[in-house]
Structures are given as C-alpha cells and as structure tokens.
Chains A and B, each alone.
Chain A
Amino acid sequence: MEHAVYHENMTQRQDDEAVSLARRVADALAAGNHAEAVRLTRQLEERLAETTEHKPSEGHAPDFEAPPTVVPVRSTKTPRSTRSGRQVVAGALAEIGVPCRARVLADYAEARFGQRVEPRALAALRRDERLAWAKSSARPTYIVPALEGHFFQPVRGFLTLSDWPLERRLLGPWSERADHLAVTAQLARQLAWLSERDPAVAERLASVVAGMAHSIPGALDGRDVDTARVESAAAAELAPLAVRDEPWRRQAAARARAQLAEEHQLWGVSIGVVAEGDRQGRQ
C-alpha cells in the first residue's frame, strides 16, 4: 500500500510581471548598471511581497540604507565573549533573516559580535529551546528548526526564529540557494553600513561576506569586497530563483496552516511508524 501523504502540485503559474522584472535586473547588471539593478531588485521584492497573504512581521531584519563601499578583507581576530550563547545565536539569526546552517551562523556571530559559538552548544540549544517552549516560560521568540516542504518535518541543520512567518521558515527546492543569495546581499548592505561605524567588525565581516560571495558569478573581483558589486550580483542571480521560490513558499505555508496545529507549525511534525503491508516495523 502506498503511503501517499504528499499531494503537492509542483507546477507553478509564474507571475509574468515578476519574470519581466527579473529579466530587467539581469540586463541592468550585464550593462554594468549596479544602481539600476539594485533599484529593480527592490521593485521585484515588493512585487513578490504584494502577492503574499501575510506581511513580514515587525521582527524582520531592517534594511540598511547606506551608500555602498569597498571594504578590504582581513583575517578575524580572537573574540571576546559578553552575551549568552543563546542571545548570540538569536541576534545573529535576526540579522541574517533566513534559515541558516549552524556553521554559517557561527562564522557570522564570531565576525559580528566577536563571540564564538561551539557546534556542541547549538545541539544543546535546540533541546533547551524545546523544553522552554513546553514550559511556556515567556520568551518573545524561540530558535526553531526550519521545516521541509513535503511533510513539514524539522530540518535540524537549519535554524530559524519562531516569530518569522511560516513562509520564511520553510525549505523548498529553490529555497536554500535563494536564501543564500538574499543573505549575501543583506550582509553586503550591512557591511557597508558598519564600515563607517565600526571598522574593526567590518573587517571581520568582510571575510565572511567574501566567502559567501565566492559562489556568485561576478560578485567578487580581486581580494577586496565591493559591497555594491556583491549586492547586485546576488540580486541578479536571486531574481529568477525568487520568482519560483516565493510562490512555492506561499503555497507550502498555506498547506501547513491548513493541516497543522500551531505547535507543529513551529517545531515541525515527527511522523510515526509507518506500517507497510505485513512487515511491521521491519527495516
């Protein structure tokens, strides 16, 4: 007997306006017009956000408005620790704004706050968060795992914040790449802002951004990080992916809200033992 839980129809009706905007972003980039590319990207983002049912919540990461700059890349220095591990992780996640792997989170936190988060600490953190939620000890947000899009099971490798809308906490076939591009652009903007206010942190952050931008064609030219260049290259590659990823996320979130209790919308579903024919529980 087939276990047919998954019904999702993967064919999407594409948003023609969005597709056209995405194409114009690519053209602007090819013409070397970074400012135009960034402007068109903002338009595209708004377009995609318009067609969502839920607006982004207050906790969403603010846009950093600042003129783009060029920041030299240098190696990080040893960090000083001041906040608790949990605070560091939550703070880093808030600024990153998309589902994030533990390692990237740790690298970012070290550069940004000067604090190292050990992988072991993150494993303990997951456990503690769940316990805290169960006891409903009031916290504004919890660190929760991202959810995969078929059965909404937790994906332990990716961390998110509970106050993000469900759309932002789901992982679909384009999501990982789209999120990476979005984060890279976001961190490039942040880097530009920080380079004026806190050059030491900016230096550390620059090497993180350089590592992330490495996989984006056209983002890096030489060793220094040109934040405008990184941002527009990321935006250009993101545009066609977002056109596919955003509608997927909307549909998956709608399904999840219809099917799942609130607890599972946060923590994911743990699917019980599946019986198949006459082989009970046998591998």
Chain B
Amino acid sequence: MSTALDALFVGRIYDSGRAMRRTTLRHTHLADQPLGIAMWRLGGERFRAAAIAWGPLGGPFELAVAGEPRNRDLYFAALAPFAADLCLRVRSAADAKVARQRGRRTELLPAGALQVVVPNRTTVGALGLLGRYLAYLSDRGGVTPDPALIEAGKHLRFYARHARVPGQALLLPLDRLVAEHWATLLSPFEQANLAALDAQIEPPAGTHAFHASAAAEALARIGPEPTEDIDRVTDALLAEFNTARGGSTDPAVVEPLARPLRDHYRRLIEPVWQLMDHAVARERRLPAAPSVQRRFEGDREAFGRHVDWMAGGGRYRTTDTPRQAAMTLRRLEDALARYDADKAVEDAACMVPYLLDGDAVRGVVASVNEHRVVARVRSVRRALMTLDTDDPAVLPAHKRLWWTATAHDHPWEVQAVQPHGLGSRITLMLDAAPTPARLPGAGDRVTLSVLHTRPDAYRLAPPLEAPWTHRPALPPPLPEPIDTGDAEPPSAAVDGTALPDPGRYT
C-alpha cells in the first residue's frame, strides 16, 4: 500500500503542529450512551482487577475495589455489583426485538445491542481473561460462586472474542477508533496510548503535537497494567489494609479499611474516564458512513445469538478445532476486505491510498453512450463511458472497475487507455444492462476502483460459532475452571530497587 499519503501526513503534521483527519466520515457505530469500562490490574496478576470502573459514558462511574483482589471472598464481593449491572444491561438490551426479512424467512433480532467502550486494546484482552476466569469458576470449599459472576464472565468472553471482527462495534477500544480517524506523528506502537493520541489531536495552544504527546506519555496512566510508581503506592496501602483487617473478610470490617485504596484508584480512573468521554464526544461529531448501520446489524445479530445461547445453557469449547480456526480466519479476512471496501467506497478520503496505488482512477466523464454489442449469440445494449483522468492511469485491457456509486452492482470493463492532457482517457464498458441508475452523467466527477461491496462475494453470513441448538447431540466438553490456584497465598511484593537485576522478571 502506497506510503505517499502517510508521508504527506507526517510532513504536514510536523509543519502545522497538529494531527490531521484520515476520514471524512465515522466508520464505526457509536451508541448514544455506550457503557464505559476501565480497569487497573494488580501488577503481574492477569486475573485480578484491583479496580474496575463502569457506567454510561458522559456520566459518573461506579467503582469496584476489592482491597485484596487475590483473596477470593473479597474479590468476588467487590465484583458482584459490576457483574450484576453488566448482566442486567445485556439482558435489557436484548429484550426489544425487530423483525427482518431474509428471503422468505422472517428473523427476529435485537433492536439494539449493548456497546462497551474501553480505553485501549490491552483492556479488551484483560476483560477477555477476566471473563475466562469468571465464566467457569469452581466451587471452592463447597461455596458456589455468585451466578451473576459466572454469567458476566460469559458475556465478557463473548465481547472479547467478538472484538476480533473487523468493523465491529460491540467492544470498542478507543485507541483503535481514534487512530483510525486521525493521522499523527505516532508510530503504531506509540498509538496504543490514548492520552498521547489525544494530545496530538488537541495540543495545548502554543505546543507542538510532538511535545504535547511526549508530555502525555510521561504523565498519563491508562492501564490496565499498573506502572511501578502506581503499584508502589498500592503496595504500601495494601500492606496496611491486610494488616488492619487481620484476615477478616467481613464487609463491615473491610469496607472502611479499604477507603484509602478506593481513593487511590479513583484518582487513577478519573482522568482516564474523562479522556474516554472526550474522545467519544469528539469522534461522534463525524457523520456516520452509510454502511455503519449494516455492520452494527451484524453485531446485533451476534449479540442476539449470544444472549439466546446463554438462555439455552451456555456451553462451548474454549479453543477452536483446527478446522474451525481455519473457517474463522477466512471469515475474518473477508470481513476485513469488506470493511476496507466499504470505507473507501463511501469515504473519498479513504479512497486516496487506492488512487495513489493505481487501484482506482478519478476524473471527469467525457461521454456516456449506448451501443449494441454481440455478447455470445445475441446482440445486447451496452453502455460505453469515456473518462478523462487527472493523473496518468496504467490499466490492462479487460480490467474490471466499480464506480463507487454502484459498488454493490456490476463493474465496468476497461476497453482502451490513451494519454490525454496530463492524465489519460479511459474507455470502459458496463458489464450489464444500462439502466439509468447505473450510468453517471457526462461532466460528472467520478471515481472507479477495484473495490466492490457485492454481498455475495464475502463469506460473512454464517455465525462465527454454531449455537448450542445446532450442535450434535453430544455436548462439547465443559471448559475447565482455571481458578485452581486461588487458594495459594499471594506472593510478597518485591521492590525492584532491592534486587540486583529486576529486569529478569519481565
């Protein structure tokens, strides 16, 4: 893919001191009030959320802090309200249904779906791991865990898996959303920091984007993995907390003692929450592309299937069989191709790289005429277009290009290319009957490209996972619980300065 556009961006941003938009439209659905989730783990503990914040973006967040998240009783007690709320929101989002015609079939799918927004892709992974842990909790010491935790775990797993689908909007990592819309001086590695992205887009007056994002990198703490300075404080507070509670897990005892830890995490979450809110509000101002609704309908479908499946008992394998994995990969690849095509066809700014690569042409329609040609046996009506392009075009004869306005329909075939002024004159023939909708007018500025959005060309329709009801009679083996080590006493925290070579523990 041509890098000339990226080079242009870098040059201009360097010159102007601010980031630039990559798109004229928004290509991802944004709900009115998506559910925001932000979390901080305990360092190195991939299943322990030391703090989880959640709530509709634009409003205040609720905060769950266990105190000692490695203690099962405290941990589950803290997560319970989060789990209950998540389950409630999922279920109510799936309640309202609409009907859809598919050929002769009428299907019901949810009218909406719960959209979850998180600060970055790492949080997506973290929620997925948390979900895996919660979804299959074992009965420890004869105590059955709160069913809301298990249900929430399954929801989180579904969301984290669905996040792999290109163009999906159920679980939205904001670092990806913002990077998709904006060109900055940040390399892909640096773009994972939402605060750095934001700083390049809206640097303080008088500050260049580069310096603004460097400052943000040094100061901002986004999570979910805590930095050394954060967890030094956590270490001190947690030690005091554990000493003070003396092994008690009684909420009456523990709650007041956990207040310093709650304050510590609240102070960390607040700037992240504001940042998320700000980013969503800014990106929402872009008008949505037409295909956003169609993609979100696919999300709603998957969401509906998931909720139905949960109602039916909720069992599936934890890992794909090789064949499943191959099929899933194909569908993901197709989904990506379709998403790229949709974006470029609907958004002229997204078409620019294809123009630069020679996979698209842009110019003025010099003429559109009908002819009769002999196709196999009969003589049929065909349209011929002459297009005068701005830049020289190199296209082989019979190459098929789609006019962006009819990208879902039939292509035009290149008949001849000749030099014309600074560009080329291309003659193309429409590959189908010339109905008015299919024909541009003379004098129109049009774009044709290799991209098309014909629905039958992409293997998207079947679900990524066969629902329980469509499986053979033998149920799949239940994924095993992974909470086997919960009874182990937590490891003592060790400060890096006490060791000669702390780097060996990365």
Query: Do A and B contact each other directly (Cβ–Cβ < 8 Å)?
Result: no
